[in-house]
Structure 1
Amino acid sequence: MMQRFVYQLLVFCLSVIPVLGQKQSNELDEAYRKELQVENEALTGRISSFSTAVKELNKRASAAIRAQEYEKALEIALELERLDPDNADIKNFKGKMQLKNQQSVAAVASFGEAIRLNPDNKWFYINQATVLADNNQVDSALKVIQQLNAIYPKWSIGYNFKAALLYASGQYEEALEAYAVAINTFPKSAQIVTNRGDLYRELGKKDKASADYKKALEVEPNYTRAKDRLVALYQ
C-alpha cells in the first residue's frame, strides 16, 4: 500500500528547472495540471532573476538530467548552492537530486532548508512529506502536511495528500474526513473525488464509490481514471 501510494505522489514533485518538467501521470486531472502550471510559471519567473553564473549552471544541470547523469546533476546542485546559498529553489533542486542518488535522509534535510527559506511554497512541503512517507515515516510526513494545511487551509491538494497518508496507513475514517475537507475546498478536483471513491471501494462500499466516480465525472467529464473505475466497479 505505502509503496503504491508514494509512487503516485512522486509524480507531483517539481524540479527547479522548468525545462525538465517531469512527465505527468495519466492520473493527473485538470485541477492538478493547472496547479503545476502555476508553480512552473512562477519558477520560471524566479529563475529569470538568478545571476548569470547561476543560470549557466542551471543549463548544465538541465543537460545532465536529460542525459540521466544524476551524480553529475547533484555535483552541479552543490555548485549552485555554493554560489547562492540562501536560494530556496536551489535547496529544493538539491533535495531532488539527492533523492535521485538514493540519499533520502539528505533530501529530507534539503527540502526542510527550502521550506525554511520559503515557507510559502506549497510544493516544498509536498516534496519533503513524500520522501518521509517513502521511508515509512508517516507520522513525520503527516506533521509536514499539517504545517502545509495550516498555511493553506483552503487548498484541496494539501488535504488530499493528508487523506492519502491516512489511507495508506490504514486510518480510513480519518482519511474520509480529510477527503471531505479536500472535496469542499479548492481547486475542485476530479482526481480527489476519485481517490475517495477508491477508498470506499476498498471498504466494500460500492454504492458510495460509484457515487464518487460519477461526481468526479461531473467535475471533469473526460477524466479517464474515474470512467475506468466506474466501469470496473461491478465487473
Structure 2
Amino acid sequence: MAFDNRGAEYGDKGDYDRAISDFSEAIRIDPKYALAWQHRGAALLRRNEVDRAIADLTESIRLDASNLNALNDRGMAYAAAGDSERALSDYNAAIRINPRFKFAYFNRGRLYAGKGDHTRAIAEYSEVIRIDPTYGYAFNNRGLSHQHTGQSERAVADFSEAIRLLPRTTLAYNNRGDIYLLQGRYDQALADFNESLRNDPQHQSALVNRGMLFEKLGEIAKARADFNAALAAPQKYDSAKWSMDKARERLAALDDTSIKTVPATTTSVIALPGPSSRNDRRIALVVGNSSYENVAALANPARDAALVAETLKLTGFDSVTLLTDLRKDELTAALRDFARQAEIADWAMVYYAGHGMEVGGVNYLIPIDAKIASDRDVSFEAVALDQVLNAAERAKRLRLIVLDACRDNPFANQMKRTMTLASRSVSRGLAAIEPEAGTLVVYAAKDGEMALDGEGRNSPFATAFVNNMRKPGLEVRRLFDVVRDDVMEATNRAQKPFSYGSVSGRQDFYFVAGK
C-alpha cells in the first residue's frame, strides 16, 4: 500500500516513470493487489502506452470485477486505441454497477462527441451535471457540443459556468474566446485567450486562436509570434494536431507573397476601396485542389483559389479562409467550421476549384486523396455538393457557391461500373441543380459540359470572375452574366458558365459598391 500510495503521488505530479516503478513494486509484493494493477494501467495510458495499459487494467478487473475506475480507465484506453465498441461496453458496465458514477457518463459523452453525435453527447454531459452540478469539465464539454450543434448562446453559458467552477481552467476560456472570435467580439475574445494562456502559457489552441485574432486586427508580428509559440509548445491537449496544422497553415499564408503580386500578363489584383456604407458580415471559404494523389495533378486550382481569396479580402470580406490540397476529412472539417461561421453571417460564399463529378444525378467535389475505382466508391471517397450547400445555408441574406470544378475528370474514364448500379449515370461535367431561394450556384461550365483549366497562370473562369468582382457597382446577378460573356469570348465559345438558383429581387448585392 505504501508503494501504491507513493506511486499515486508521483502520478499526480506527472512523474510517470517513478509512479510506474512504485506500482510495479507493489505488484511484485502482492500480485493480487487489484488497485496497483489499475493505477499502473492508468499511468501507462497517460504515457500513451495503450496496449500495456489495457493489459494491466484487464488484470485489475479480473481480480476485482466491481472496480469502477478500472472499467472506466480501460474504456478510455480502448477509446484511445480506436475500439469504440469495447470502450462503450466498459462505460456501460461501470454505470450498471453504479448508476451515479459520473466519470463513465462523462467519457461516454466524449465517445459520442468524437463520433459527431453531439445530441447524445449533450444528454450524457447533462446527466453528469445532474449527478454533480459542480463538475466544471462537464459544462465545458457540453458547451463544445452545443457549439457544434449551432447553439452558440448555450455554449457561452456553459463555458462561463465552467469558468466559474474552475477559475484556473485554460480550456473553457479558450473555447468561449473561440465563439467570441467567430462573432466578431474581438475585445472579449482577446481577454479570454489571454486568460487561457495566463493559466497555461503553452496551450497550443489558445496560442493559435489568439494568433488568428491578431491576424484579423492587422498585428502580423504578434500573430507570427503566437503561431511559432504554438509549434514549439508540447502537444498535451486533444486539439494538438489541429493547432499544429493551423499554425503551419497561417504562417505559410503570412509568408506567401505570391498571391499579392500577379504578373500583369494574366490577372492583376489591385487595391480596392471596400464598400463604405455596408454593415453586413461577409465570409468566404476558398478551396483549391491541385495535387491529386491518384491521378494527374491540375495546374491551376491552387493558384486560382489564392487569387480569388486575395480579391475577396480586397473587396471587404470580413473573413476569408483559403485552403489548398484538402483530403476528404480536411474538406469535411472545413465545411463544418464554415457552417458554424455562417450562422452569424449575412453573406456566405464558397469557391471551389478542382475536380468535380456527377454520378446518378448527384454532384461531388473530389478531395486529393480520393481512390475511385468504381461508381459505388464515389459516395465514400468524395464530398457531395449538398454538404457545401448545407454549410452556407444559415447565412441571412446571400448564399453563393462558385464551382470551377467541371474540368476533364480522369476518374470518370477509369471507373468500373458495378452490376448492381449498372443504371447509374456518370456524365461529363456536373448535373443541373435547383437550390433553394436565396442561394446562387455558379458553374464554370454549364451542366454536362467541360471547363478548361487554361494554359496561363489561372483558369479562364477564375480570371473573368476576379476581373469582374472588383468592378464597382456591378450587381452580383449581372456580374455572372458578364463573367459568362468574358469566358465564352476567351475560349472561343468552347466554355459557357451557368448560374442556378435565385436571390431576393427586393435587394441588390455588390462585391464592391458603386463609386
Residues 199, 18 of structure 1: CA spacing in aligned structure 2 closer, same or farther, 3 A cutoff? farther
Mapped to 2, the partners of 1:59 and 1:223 lie a distance apart of 28
Look up the equivalent residue of 1:113 and give its one-letter code.
A
Question: Would you say the 8 A contact 2:119–2:145 is kept in 1?
Answer: no
The counterpart of 2:199, out of the listed 206, 220, 233, is 220
Question: Would you say the 8 A contact 1:111–1:127 is kept in 2?
Answer: yes
Q: Is 1:197 matched up with 2:138? A: no
Report 1:1-235 matches (<5 A). 52-53=31-32, 54=34, 68=49, 70=51, 74=54, 77-118=57-98, 122-216=102-196, 220=199, 222=201, 225=204, 226=206, 229-235=209-215
Mapped to 1, the partners of 2:95 and 2:66 lie a distance apart of 11
The sequence identity of aligned pairs, in percent, is: 24
Question: Which of the two has higher C-alpha Rg?
Answer: 2
Question: Would you say the 8 A contact 1:157–1:182 is kept in 2?
Answer: yes
Instruction: Please say which of residues 194-203 and 224-233 is displaced more in the overlay.
Output: 224-233
Residues 88, 214 of structure 1: CA spacing in aligned structure 2 closer, same or farther, 3 A cutoff? same
Mapped to 1, the partners of 2:202 and 2:72 lie a distance apart of 31
Report the counterpart of residue 252 of structure 2 in structure 1. none
Mapped to 2, the partners of 1:155 and 1:95 lie a distance apart of 20
Deviation per CA, 1:191-233: give whole Å up to 9, x if none. Answer: 311210011112333232123234445x638465546643541
Question: Would you say the 8 A contact 2:170–2:203 is kept in 1?
Answer: no
Residues 203, 155 of structure 1: CA spacing in aligned structure 2 closer, same or farther, 3 A cutoff? same
Question: Would you say the 8 A contact 2:168–2:199 is kept in 1?
Answer: no
Instruction: Please say which of residues 117-126 and 136-145 is displaced more in the overlay.
Output: 117-126
Mapped to 1, the partners of 2:118 and 2:151 lie a distance apart of 11
Aligned residue pairs, count: 196
Question: Would you say the 8 A contact 1:156–1:183 is kept in 2?
Answer: yes
Residues 87, 201 of structure 1: CA spacing in aligned structure 2 closer, same or farther, 3 A cutoff? same
Mapped to 1, the partners of 2:187 and 2:48 lie a distance apart of 48
Structure 1: state its 5+ residue gaps.
1-16, 22-32
Q: What is the alpha-carbon root mean square deviation over aligned residues?
A: 4.1
Could you say which structure has the higher strand fraction? 2
Question: Would you say the 8 A contact 2:78–2:86 is kept in 1?
Answer: yes
The alignment partner of 2:165 has SS state of coil
Mapped to 2, the partners of 1:170 and 1:223 lie a distance apart of 29
Question: Would you say the 8 A contact 1:87–1:117 is kept in 2?
Answer: no
Mapped to 1, the partners of 2:109 and 2:68 lie a distance apart of 17
Look up the equivalent residue of 2:199 and give its one-letter code.
E
Deviation per CA, 1:67-89: give whole Å up to 9, x if none. Answer: 9572x754554443232111112
Mapped to 1, the partners of 2:211 and 2:42 lie a distance apart of 41
Deviation per CA, 1:6-36: give whole Å up to 9, x if none. Answer: xxxxxxxxxxx96997xxxxxxxxxxx99x9
Mapped to 2, the partners of 1:125 and 1:207 lie a distance apart of 36
Question: Would you say the 8 A contact 1:19–1:62 is kept in 2?
Answer: no
Question: Would you say the 8 A contact 1:156–1:185 is kept in 2?
Answer: yes
Residues 224, 55 of structure 1: CA spacing in aligned structure 2 closer, same or farther, 3 A cutoff? closer
Question: Would you say the 8 A contact 2:38–2:70 is kept in 1?
Answer: no
Give the Å deviation of 1:131. 1.1
Deviation per CA, 1:53-104: give whole Å up to 9, x if none. Answer: 236755985898779572x754554443232111112212331333244321
Look up the equivalent residue of 1:210 and give its one-letter code.
L
Report the counterpart of residue 6 of structure 1 in structure 2. none
Give the Å deviation of 1:123. 3.7
State the TM-score, normalizing by the size of structure 1.
0.63
Residues 67, 143 of structure 1: CA spacing in aligned structure 2 closer, same or farther, 3 A cutoff? closer
Mapped to 1, the partners of 2:170 and 2:183 lie a distance apart of 20
Could you say which structure has the higher helix fraction? 1
Question: Would you say the 8 A contact 2:44–2:53 is kept in 1?
Answer: yes
Instruction: Please say which of residues 139-148 and 99-108 is displaced more in the overlay.
Output: 99-108
Give the Å deviation of 1:130. 1.1
Structure 2: state its 5+ residue gaps.
1-6, 216-515
Residues 124, 62 of structure 1: CA spacing in aligned structure 2 closer, same or farther, 3 A cutoff? closer
Question: Would you say the 8 A contact 2:160–2:172 is kept in 1?
Answer: no
